[in-house]
Amino acid sequence: MKGERELVKSRNNLEIEVCRNQSDLATKAEAWDALLISSPQRSPMLSYAWVSAYLQHRVQKDQSWYVLFAYLEGRLVGVLPLVINRVSIAGMPRLVLRTPDDSHTFGGDILYAAEHQLETFRALIEAVGRITPDWFSIELRRVVDDSPTVDCLIHPGWHLTVSESAGIGYYFPVIGKYEDYFGGLSKNMRGNLRRAENKLNEKSGLRLTVLEHDAATPEDLCRFTSLESSGWKGREGSAIECSPELLLFYRTLTTRLSESGMLRWEFLERGSELIAGNLSVRFKDIVVIWKLGYDEKYGKYSPGALLFKAVLEQSYKDNAISEFNLMSDTPWQVNWNPCHRAYSNVYIYPIRVYPIMIGFLPRILKGWLRRSSSLMRIARKIRKQI
């Protein structure tokens, strides 16, 4: 019957609900965001706004999806979104379930409450087996190293798991005084930034505008995408405006982020000209800087770097932000002396013959060979030095 909840029973008193369409997801938005705010996890990409926009616009025609919601005594304690992929493995079609992940969505993971995390993890994985009995594997993409999922993996269950490195992501804790932080940058970088600021301030002063909470609206997306597409991203076809499908995704995303109070814009202007902008997300006292655009006419002055400097400096003064998270590890970020977090891809296999033989064991072997190769290279270097 239409409107009836699709429920899956679990063995540890948790109730699992399955949602397969956008209208059902929308009814969960308030509880979902409340869970995210109370959760120890720090990623806005686990929010209703981001996951629902991804499922609406980034899932391919040959894929399907569902989202599992775990409840304990009527309270939401876990969310697991999964995209179902039909993949040929060893010449046979297999069902591989992955969390949302692509170049515009990083960090697919289970969202947990602050407690009952192991029970939630087990109940959600068990529910997958009931809903999709012939699943071959579950892939949690770019799980951060301090995620509750990592702790859950060390406990044995009715599944096998493998973790593989998925790189690192840079972040900047806002601690102490800005002068101390800026003084820790290289002398050459400090000099370049000061010269660029002085040059641009000669005729028209630089002005930083930060829009967040009620002041941040999706209407500024057009302003940002025009700036982004005016440079090399536009020429190479990687700008948001170059793809109608991608533009739809970001329109939906910024609308839903705005509705949840998480959207943030950062603009650097020179007089009446916009020279750099960031599409960011404000989540509690953390800011994720997600997309950067700048006017190439000012390229020799590094407008993106000037914007980042201005945003950091203001945040040190306001004392309202504890961290800026870039979630990536591009070369320009290294010059700013960031901290970093490690990410892993987590692969979960049911205890059945084929998933073990052609999924789990090959991944174990691959990891062993990779580690062995690294050890061999280290050993050769040591022998050369002896």
Asked if 218 and 124 sit in the same domain, the reply is no
Predicted local confidence at residue 379, as pLDDT: 56
Asked if 86 and 36 sit in the same domain, the reply is yes
Q: What is the pLDDT along the chain (386 residues), one digit of tens a residue?
A: 456 788 887 777 899 999 999 999 999 999 999 999 999 998 999 999 999 999 999 999 999 999 999 999 999 999 999 999 999 998 889 999 999 999 999 989 999 999 999 999 999 999 999 999 999 999 999 999 999 999 999 887 889 999 999 999 999 999 999 999 999 999 999 999 999 999 998 877 899 999 999 999 999 999 999 999 988 888 999 999 999 999 999 999 999 999 999 999 999 999 989 999 999 999 989 999 999 999 999 999 999 999 999 999 999 998 899 999 999 999 889 999 999 999 999 999 999 999 999 999 999 998 888 777 665 665 566 556 65
Question: Helix or strand or coil: residue 347?
Answer: strand
236 within domain boundaries: yes
333 within domain boundaries: no
Rounded CA-CA distance 14/124 in Å is 9
385 within domain boundaries: no
84 contacts: CB under 8 Å, gap ≥ 6: 63, 64, 65, 66, 95, 96, 97, 132
Phi, psi of 307 (to 5 degrees): -65, -45
Rounded CA-CA distance 224/241 in Å is 10
110 within domain boundaries: yes
Asked if 62 and 195 sit in the same domain, the reply is no
Asked if 312 and 263 sit in the same domain, the reply is yes
Rounded CA-CA distance 373/71 in Å is 45
Count other Cβ atoms within 10 Å, centred on residue 76.
Answer: 19
Asked if 253 and 357 sit in the same domain, the reply is no
258 within domain boundaries: yes
* 266: containing domain: 175-321
Asked if 182 and 210 sit in the same domain, the reply is yes
Side-chain half-sphere exposure of 25, counting CA atoms within 13 A: 21
**Residue 296 burial by CB count (10 A; 0-12/13-18/19+): exposed, middle or buried?**
middle
Asked if 114 and 194 sit in the same domain, the reply is no
286 within domain boundaries: yes
Asked if 37 and 104 sit in the same domain, the reply is yes
Cβ-contact 282, 264 below 8 angstroms: yes
Asked if 114 and 237 sit in the same domain, the reply is no
Question: Which pair of structure tokens corresponds to residue 105?
Answer: 């969505």
Asked if 100 and 32 sit in the same domain, the reply is yes
19 within domain boundaries: yes
383 within domain boundaries: no
Give the count of domains, the chain: 2
Which alpha helices (H) appear in the chain, and where do they start and end?
22-27, 29-38, 48-57, 117-131, 148-152, 178-183, 187-200, 220-229, 232-236, 244-259, 303-318, 331-334, 353-355, 361-385
Asked if 265 and 301 sit in the same domain, the reply is yes
Asked if 180 and 311 sit in the same domain, the reply is yes
- State the CATH number of the domain containing residue 50: 3.40.630.30
Q: What is the pTM of this model?
A: 0.92
Count other Cβ atoms within 10 Å, centred on residue 162.
Answer: 20
Question: Which pair of structure tokens corresponds to residue 64?
Answer: 């399907």
